[in-house]
Chain A
Amino acid sequence: MPIQPVLLWSDFFIWLLVAAGVGAAWWSARQPLLAAAWGRVGHNRVGVAAATLLAAFALVGLLDSLHYRPQLPAKAGASPGEKINYSVEVLSLLDGLLTPLRTRVEKTYSEPLATRAYAKEMMEVRQEDGSLRTLRDYPRLRFGGAALGADEVRAPADIAGRALRALLAGVVGWLALCALVSGRLARKVGVPRREGWRRVWHGETTFAWNALLAALGVIVALLAVLVGLGGEYHVFGTDKVGQDVLYQVLKSVRTALVIGLVTTLVTLPLAVFLGIVAGYFRGWIDDLIQYLYTTLNSIPGVLLIAAAVLMMQVAIDTHPQWFATAAERADLRLLALCFILGLTSWTGLARLLRGEALKLRELEYVQAAQAFGVSDLRILSRHLLPNLMHIVIIALVMDFSGLVLAEAVLSYVGIGVDPTMISFGTMINNARMELGREPAVWWSLTAAFVFMFVLVLAANLLADAVRDAFDPRMA
């Protein structure tokens, strides 16, 4: 076997989430009411477009969550029966796909689409007469525009040509996809293809196919351009050690998703359960929970997290035997960070929910349930929880973006993810120095910002659509 699969803990959680998601989808498809609500999400154009974008991000994240160790090339002259050695470097499927991006490392900074480095260097150039001349210039990049050779003047035309060709291919592919979709829809309803096409683009379908196709169009166009140029140029430039920024950004997506989702998984049960219980039962239970979160809240958040992270770091450093590879260590550190963030950030949502539960418990439908002698747990789950869900969803999405940002802040302080792990936080942290130099290096920060912005915006829009669709009063 040429590879050895590796299951990191965060991979396990991610695939668990995926399995839960698939299970929930299968289950809700069989519940007519839930299916109808999801149908309303599907009818919401903004929601579908956001979901399509998120799906693209999720795809990147999932590809990055299948890890393996490649086999090392056998030593020359080794017998076939000899033990196979695997690399200590853990790669993911995404790494495999992005091998050109990953391996073509320049010396240091270079601008997007540049053919030369960003800073002048002393170079020794052999003159025609054979003498060496020292000259100070921007050195030629090893990989950026390598195909051009010495003919650098042609770079803009080359870039435009490649981009156009790729774009054309992308558009053709996209149009084919549109035709396929509208054709299938037309066949399903039994109308001519032209009519099916018209219906899709006039938004007369139940599912917002036009939004899906439009979002896909944007993604396909961007992807085509990236693929067309990425092989030859550094589309987003390179960073200090010459690594391609596009590669870094794509790797950051998984880190952001893990931080956002796994932390939420930790926060949610705590916040929802403690918040509702405090608001509904009041009395000493309320006092206890309030005491707990007031105490947690009164310790500065960063300090608390720093203390926990440092303790964890000590534990990790003193037990190197726990980890077979550096990736496993970095991964565990990421997960621990998620748990620590989760355990310290449930208080805000819990307090919000407690206040709302205090209000809801006085409502007449709760009293009617009490008059029937319905058990408290049942009242909590049937009467309070569903009526609090909108707050939970809003808070979750807000938290998702907040957590991605918190990771950046913590990485900045030096207590975030492992330094070897690429994340938006580490990118932003590095950008601090880069913006300070002259001339400023702007592309790392910009790339991280654009990707983070799109990710968080898409999550927000989808959450809005979901909340509206599940609110019976809006239906």
Chain B
Amino acid sequence: MVEPARNALEPTSLLEVRNLSLGFAGGGRVLTAVSGLSFSVAAGETYALLGESGCGKSASALALMRLLPAAGRILGGEVRLEGRDLLGLAEAEMRSVRGGGMAMIFQEPATSLNPVLTVGRQIGEVLAQHTDLAGEAARAKAEKLLAAVGIADPARRLCEYPFQLSGGMKQRVMISIALAGNPRLLVADEPTTALDVTIQAQILDLLQDLQAEREMGMLLITHDLGVVARMAHRVGVMYAGELVEEAPAAGFFDAPRHPYTQALFAALPDLSRRGMRLQTIAGQVPTLAAMPAGCRFAPRCPHAWERCRSESPDWSAAGEGHRVRCHLYGEGLEATAKRLVAEGTERSRNASVAGEDAPAPGSASPPSHPPLLRIADLQVHFPIRRGVFQRTVGHVRAVDGVSLTLTAGKTLALVGESGCGKTTVGKAVLQLLRPTGGSVLLDGREIAGLSRSAMRPLRRRMQMVFQDPFASLNPRLRVGEIIAEGLRALLAGERRDTAAVVAALLAQVGLDAGAVDRYPHEFSGGQRQRIAIARALAVQPELLICDEPTSALDVSVQAQILNLLGELQASLGLAYLFITHNFAVVEHLAHEVAVMYLGRIVERGTVEEVLRQPQHPYTKALLSAVPAPRPAAAGEAGGSIIRLPGETPSPAKPPAGCHFHPRCAFATAECRERYPDERALSATRVVRCHLYR
């Protein structure tokens, strides 16, 4: 997949960034957000700018285009595109560079297209600006562009509005708009973050093909090591507004040098570190107002010494085209550096060895426990109403016959792409949504359809942790009030010292007791998620429904939350219904997995079974579409990559027969007619596919 690394110092670089600094004005001063950023991108090369949220990577990309928001200031440096200094250009000249010289693709395809203009108009706009095509010629060109980004029936799509397109298709249209000006450099800012893995794989393939075809340079901005591994020729790692490491992709993944990069790798969850604590990075990214004087990573770095705190490190070479901004690799310290690299490699090797030894948490336990939660044939249908009288004309079958069991103290992962109904299952279990049919048994007691008052005493036994820590905490309430809410609502009768309970909960999730009187906005994403977990734990539930609790968080923070969840399960014996689309998290945390597609479970079993030997074609495709952050590991997995054509159909009109058959490579006539029944492959394993009988 990854082409051999090119020479880092290629003479004909397309984009040259030298010492770029930028900041944001506010409160009467300018806070530097990015300083001394230097890199170059050659034609036909993909340079990945990797970093966690807030490190300044998106601001840098906007600065290249000179599109910084009003408060943004370019403080110095040089940006050259094909030898032209962009920062000195007049605004009018800059307009021909944007789109013509370099074009940009944004993260959210849903909001980067104008909803009231047709696709054709939006492509035509760029064509009119950068070429002298008009009328029929422009239309033909637009059609060609759409065909080039793999959109079927481009002539018809030209006349359609963005709302008529799916997410993946919108991103394709975005790419075709970016290509319309025939740019030399494509800046892709998290181009697949908002997309599902199977769609992400399609878009990444497309970008790779287009780049090879047009010899474009590509600046890929991402936080996802997997995407970097799949796409990049060279990688630059940013931390707190500085580039800290730059290397060819192969060298980067073989031996990351900077302590920050190493920590990032160590924080990735995977099967090899199952049941173990993930390594986390202590502390937080420093704020713009309080940048450390020396190395910016020093306060969080396990290897830091005095020099790191006082003196900002310069670049040191660490191999072919590989440079690091770290004192450890400075002159006279080669020995230490070697030891560190060795340690790094050692650690990852140890981890994989340990992974084999580690007791697989799920396999050893006897299955004789009565299940804590048993869901049988759960259905949640939303009526579609039309017309003046709001007559029901159909149903969105969000959840259509799901059966699951979950034992106390275990984790069941519910995996699937967006829109498959996994969150709806979680909410229906909690009775936040009324199930249309089926039963939900909590400890053998039916809770589906219970009245609100009958449900109340049961609410303390199960709680939910939501996906977005920024939306799940009321911004107007203090943390203490948020956590105490459940106590007040459910345990009002029991006399207890609320303040003491809240303090204990905060300690349990690893937060300072001083947090009680602060507001949620004063906390980072990870800390907010801890608060949300503390809120759920306040009523001492036995079952915690975690709805993608880490998907809005950075890798290093995700590791902290996963560790916390693991510890809580070990100490409190919690059962987790873990809803996610991230297989790495599943591998790390879950005992059992259920894969959902269009409201139904297509395969379920223990983690080892499902992830090691997926049986259902959908599971196989999903697994192979996940970009692996370690290229070597990806090779091990077999190398055969299954690309799913098309996108998930609407649950309002699921295909006849097996829901998956339009995208399945093995579909037969039977698949088109009849939905397959459950087949038990082993005591724990169930698949719904006609291939197994």
Contacts and interface: CB of A to CB of B under 8 A. Distances in A.
A373 B472 contact: no
A387 B485 CA distance: 17
Contact of B459 (A33, A365, A373, A473): A373
A364 interface: yes
A206 interface: no
Nearest to A370: B432
B231 interface: no
Interface string A314-338: 0000000000000000000000000
Interface string A455-475: 000000000000000001101
Contact of A373 (B477, B482, B490, B536): B490
Contacts of B456: 373
Given A371-B464, A372-B459, A473 B472 contact: no
Contacts of B432: 367, 370-371
Most buried by B among A367, A372, A373, A386: A372
A374 interface: yes
Given A373-B456, A373-B489, A374-B489, A364 B472 contact: yes
Contacts of A370: 432
Contacts of B430: 371
Contacts of A472: 475-476, 519, 521
A369 B485 contact: yes
Given A373-B452, A374-B485, A374-B489, A368 B472 contact: yes
Tell me what chain A mostly uses at the interface: helix, strand, loop, or mixed: helix
Interface in A255-269: none
Contacts of B463: 371-372
B459 A383 contact: no
Given A370-B432, A372-B459, A382 B477 contact: yes
B486 A372 contact: yes
A157 interface: no
B466 interface: yes
B455 A368 contact: no
B468 interface: yes
Contacts of B532: 368
A473 B518 CA distance: 11
A367 B474 contact: no
B473 interface: yes
Nearest to B453: A373
B455 to A, nearest CB: 7
Contact of A371 (B452, B459, B467, B475): B459
B581 interface: no
A76 interface: no
B466 A372 contact: no
Nearest to A378: B489
Nearest to A365: B474
B467 A373 contact: no
A259 to B, nearest CB: 31
Interface string A373-397: 1110010001100110000000000
A363 interface: yes
Contact of A364 (B467, B489, B490, B517): B467
Interface string A216-233: 000000000000000000
A365 B477 CA distance: 11
A368 B483 CA distance: 11
Contacts of A367: 427, 432, 464, 466
A368 B464 contact: yes
Contacts of A475: 519
B327 interface: no
B535 interface: yes
Most buried by A among B456, B476, B477: B476
A470 to B, nearest CB: 9
A205 B172 CA distance: 57
A286 to B, nearest CB: 13
Interface in A330-369: 363-365, 367-369
Contact of B535 (A368, A378, A387): A368
Given A367-B466, A371-B459, A372-B490, A473 B475 contact: yes
Contact of A372 (B471, B477, B489): B489
A370 B485 CA distance: 11
Contacts of B490: 372-373
A387 B520 CA distance: 14
A8 B478 CA distance: 44
A207 B456 CA distance: 48
29 contacts: A33-B517, A363-B472, A364-B467, A364-B471, A365-B473, A365-B474, A367-B427, A367-B466, A368-B464, A368-B466, A368-B532, A368-B535, A368-B536, A370-B432, A371-B432, A371-B464, A372-B486, A372-B490, A373-B452, A373-B455, A374-B489, A375-B489, A382-B485, A383-B474, A386-B476, A387-B475, A472-B475, A472-B519, A473-B475
Given A367-B464, A371-B432, 11 more contacts: A364-B468, A368-B464, A368-B485, A368-B532, A368-B535, A369-B485, A372-B459, A382-B474, A383-B474, A386-B474, A473-B475
Interface of A: 33, 363-365, 367-375, 378, 382-383, 386-387, 472-473, 475
